[in-house]
Amino acid sequence: MGGFVRKIVKRGIAKKVIKPVAKPVLKTPEQGKKTSEALDKKLTENADKGNQEATALLNKRKGRRATIKTTSSGLNDEEIKKKTLLG
């Protein structure tokens, strides 16, 4: 499946009609945290100036952050140590 299309795409890249797609670069957790903090800072500045879209986006980010319990390296065990009554 896709052999015909793949050949067309390869020819297009060879003739420089189609640009090849760059492979994504994975970030380390530290880089992601730094980017997230910079985005939060900028959104806070814009929300203070009265930008309603920035305020809404900032609220959405805060709500989602409370439910994420994993990192890119796996589950943080120190956050989930509360025992349940079932087991």
pLDDT in tens, 40-61: 899 999 999 988 999 888 888 8
pLDDT band at 84 (very low <50, low <70, confident <90, very high): low
Mean residue pLDDT of the chain comes to: 80
- Whether the per-residue pLDDT at 3 is higher than 90: the answer is no
- CA angle centred on 15, ends 11 and 19, rounded to 5°: 85
Measure the CA–CA gap between 43 and 60, rounded to whole angstroms.
Answer: 12
pTM: predicted TM-score of the whole model, two decimal places:
0.45
Measure the CA–CA gap between 66 and 50, rounded to whole angstroms.
Answer: 25
Torsion of CA 48, 53, 56, 58, to 10 degrees: -60
pLDDT band at 27 (very low <50, low <70, confident <90, very high): confident
What integer pLDDT is reported at residue 60 of this predicted model? 84
Contact 18, 12 (CB under 8 A): yes
Query: Tokens standing for 22?
Result: 């760059």
